Amino acid sequence: MEIRNIAIIAHVDHGKTTLVDAMLRQAKALGKEEGERILDSFDLERERGITILAKNTAVVWKGVKINIVDTPGHADFGGEVERALSLVEGVLLLVDAAEGPMPQTRFVLRKALEAGLKPIVVLNKVDKKDARPDEVLSLTFDLMVELGATDEQLDFPYLYAVGREGRAWRETPREDLSELFQAILEHIPPPQAAEGPFQLRVANLDHSPYLGRVVVGRVARGRVRKGETVAILKAEGQLQAKVAAVYTHQGLERLEVEEATPGDIVALAGLEGAEIGDTVADLEAPEALPPLRVDEPTVALTLTPNTSPFAGREGRYVTGQKLKERLEKELRTNVALQVLELSPETFELRGRGELHLAVLLETMRREGYEFSVGQPRVLFKDGLEPYERLTVEVPEERLGPVMEALGRRRAEMVHMEVGSRVRAEFLLPARALFGFRSLFLSLTGGEGLLGHTFHGYGPPAGPIETRTTGSAVAMEAGVATAYSLHRLQERVRFFIQPGTEVYVGMIVGEHVRENDLEVNVTTAKKLTNIRAAGSDENIRLIPPKPLSLEEALEFLAEDELLEVTPKSLRLRKKILDPSARKRAVAR
């Protein structure tokens, strides 16, 4: 059977996972009726509406097997993108027909062009009222030129689509995706698998409770059968393992087959010791493929066991040893992550961005882990600091405050388009984005769109003030009362509500001024024998501002920690005692 291997790439929320749903349905690759966003099976993916993990499926169209890899659209998951692109010969580039190329479009497309992959452009969501498909097509072409596409890559086919309705066409609107499937068969080359002994580079890992470790990759050359002994070529040496089973993909299922054929994306079970990037090769002629190259991390934070007065109340795994075991497990599959053990109970996590690290922390807390993390910081390289390319899209009347805020963060505008809304692109230090998302939403009244991607390294930009407010810190332990919160709410935007238990040194809210403020939120109203009618009803509290894990990380100052448990997120000072904290500042 002929084979085509293709990845779907796009900016976040441009509709690629929805398009895959329609491709699976129309190719009759589903055994039963499924819901929407079938490939977003990870809980965090469904909650956030983004793809985090690269996944592969397959359909058969006119006798040709099409392996489809759904890739993340966010630059923070670039490790997943790079692994996905190592499996394919071409890409479907989805671009929103109204929004046009966005920051993550630039990031993923650059990776695809560098890998020499042939693109097919799909202008999606052409049914939008503000769709401008021809203009967006021109912008996409200009972006490819800017990113150094070859003449062959620039001669790309393009289609119009409404992925949500399962429709795509070249000239005349159609009610199905047949022209999209045909474009894949015509323009994506079949895999060029060389003759010779078996070779496969591990691009992903899975686990079977019956067969052990399962490795996923594309067969670079040769064939392998169930029961054969193969070599696992690692950077530090060579292992041997027996192939317990060979699987190929069909729809959402894995089908067991007798042998893996050249060019196909397959899963091999039973290969204990294999890691991502290793080569699985013929035992008699072991020859390694080039290792996967992954961009270096740009953001780091420190993770330690929780040491607050509430430590151990809510988590199952609370010790440094348990944290170490979990991080070692994560390193096997998360190729863009680095972990440095600074001490037996202190670990530095290095990743591609705040979101990359935040997803790991959120996953760990849901698994029952409890820990503390410090303020994220950027990683310098040879004296240079990482810069980001930021794109904002805002109503014209909101542009002024946004530009003023970015100016204070040492951003430089490099491009602007004015239409019904203004789109502007900036280059700025990566650390300038810490805390900016929340400020941006406030400045634009929730009407702005924001995206960014790694640009490169540049000279240090100097001091940047990313936070203009202080912390409200509890000075007494106890239970917060409505009376205390009401008295303080003109000066403090609270993160807690009445009835919340607090400890000394816990951050309970955001002080409206730049300095920290010690507050007592546990004071109860004095009772008297005479009480005015309706006096208790006069207490009207501003609703608290609950922080997500990313927002809490953005809020952190250098002397603060985020306490993460399966049930709670609490901000605190590193030094809880107020007197000891003042002495430390004085020194």
Task: Locate 327 and state its tokens.
Answer: 């991080």
3-state helix, strand, coil in the chain (%, to 5): 25, 35, 40
Question: Under a CB-based contact definition with an 8 Å cutoff, are residues 8 and 72 in contact?
Answer: no
Residue 125 is assigned to a ligand binding site: yes
Question: Under a CB-based contact definition with an 8 Å cutoff, are residues 255 and 269 in contact?
Answer: no
Stated as kind and residue range, the H or E segment containing 106 is helix 103-114
Beta bridge mates, 160: 123, 169
Residue 17 is assigned to a ligand binding site: yes
Residue 124 is assigned to a ligand binding site: yes
**End-to-end CA distance of the chain, in Å?**
73
Comparing CA positions, the residue from 369, 251, 349 lying closest to residue 303 is 349
Q: Cβ–Cβ contacts within 10 Å for residue 95, how many?
A: 28
Residue 15 is assigned to a ligand binding site: yes
Residue bearing tokens 């239970």: 479
Q: Letter for the amino acid at 522?
A: T
Task: Locate 204 and state its tokens.
Answer: 């992903």
Q: How many CA atoms does the CB half-sphere of 393 hold within 13 Å?
A: 13
Cα separation of 405 and 442, whole Å? 11
Which ranges of 157-260 would DSSP assign to H, the alpha helix? Answer: 178-187
Largest CA distance in the chain: 95
Cα separation of 15 and 126, whole Å? 12
Cα 71 to chain centroid distance, Å, stands at 11
Residue 128 is assigned to a ligand binding site: no
Residue 229 is assigned to a ligand binding site: no
Using DSSP's 3-state secondary structure scheme, residue 37 falls into coil
Comparing CA positions, the residue from 383, 421, 390, 422 lying closest to residue 406 is 390
Question: Under a CB-based contact definition with an 8 Å cutoff, are residues 469 and 513 in contact?
Answer: yes
Q: Letter for the amino acid at 361?
A: L
Relative to beta strand 90-96, strand 2-10 is parallel
Beta bridge mates, 255: 248
Residues near 511 by beta carbon (within 8 Å), at least 6 away in sequence = 469, 470, 471, 472, 491, 492, 517
Residue 468 is assigned to a ligand binding site: no
Residue 172 is assigned to a ligand binding site: no
Q: Letter for the amino acid at 219?
A: V
Cα 379 to chain centroid distance, Å, stands at 18
Residue 126 is assigned to a ligand binding site: yes
DSSP output for 117-161? PEEEEEEE-TTSTT--HHHHHHHHHHHHHHTT--HHHHS--EEEE
DSSP output for 434-500? TTHHHHHHHHTTT--EEEEEEEEEE-----------EEEEE-S-EE--HHHHHHHTTTEEES--TT-
Task: Locate 479 and state its tokens.
Answer: 């239970």
- Tell me the helices (H) and strands (E) count for the chain, helix number first: 14, 35
Counting Cβ atoms within 10 Å, is residue 283 exposed (0-12), middle (13-18) or buried (19+)? middle
Binding-site annotation: residue ranges = 13-18, 124-127
Binding-site annotation: residue ranges for GTP = 13-18, 124-127
